[in-house]
């Protein structure tokens, strides 16, 4: 796991993808690490501590195609953002992703 929490504010979490890690798997690992929920349900827990399917938020194949190793090597400069399991996820073409809990505005 290549997570980095230094030099950030309390709302940000940065995760560095390993060289052969697909972005979709990195999202699951990072969200699991931060939330404490399992990527795959543990037997006997009824799935209560498991992450929801990633495809409910984004097409994992499309995410991997857009931001695979080739985009990092060719200099493609972009990102994909979406909400997943209560986090604003931004996957960057330079091999990292960030998670942020949305800031809720209180009704006055």
The 10s digit of each residue's pLDDT in 24-79 is 999 999 999 999 999 987 776 665 689 999 999 999 999 998 887 665 555 667 89
Residue 81 has what pLDDT? 95
Residue 17 vs residue 43, higher pLDDT: 17
**Model pTM score:** 0.78
Residue 21 vs residue 9, higher pLDDT: 21
Is 25 part of a structural domain of the chain? yes
| Domain residue limits at 23 | 3-100
Is 107 part of a structural domain of the chain? no
β 96-100/87-92 pair status: antiparallel
Is 83 part of a structural domain of the chain? yes
Is 96 part of a structural domain of the chain? yes
The total domain count for the chain is: 1
Question: DSSP states of 7-66 as a string?
Answer: SS-TTEEEEEPPTT--HHHHHHHHHHHHH--BSSPPTTTTTTTBPPPGGGTS-HHHHHHH
How far is residue 95's CA from residue 30's CA, in Å, rounded to a whole number?
13
Residue 75 has what pLDDT? 61
Is 89 part of a structural domain of the chain? yes
């Amino acid at each position: 796991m290549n997570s980095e929490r230094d030099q950030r504010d309390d709302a940000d979490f940065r995760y560095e993808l390993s060289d052969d890690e697909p972005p979709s798997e990195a999202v699951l690992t990072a969200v699991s690490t931060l939330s404490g929920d399992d990527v795959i349900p543990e037997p006997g827990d009824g799935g209560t501590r498991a992450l929801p399917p990633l495809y409910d938020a984004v097409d994992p194949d499309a995410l991997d195609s857009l931001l695979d190793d080739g985009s990092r090597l060719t200099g493609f400069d972009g990102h994909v953002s979406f909400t997943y399991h209560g986090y604003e996820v931004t996957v960057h073409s330079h091999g990292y992703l960030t998670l942020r809990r949305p800031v809720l505005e209180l009704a006055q």
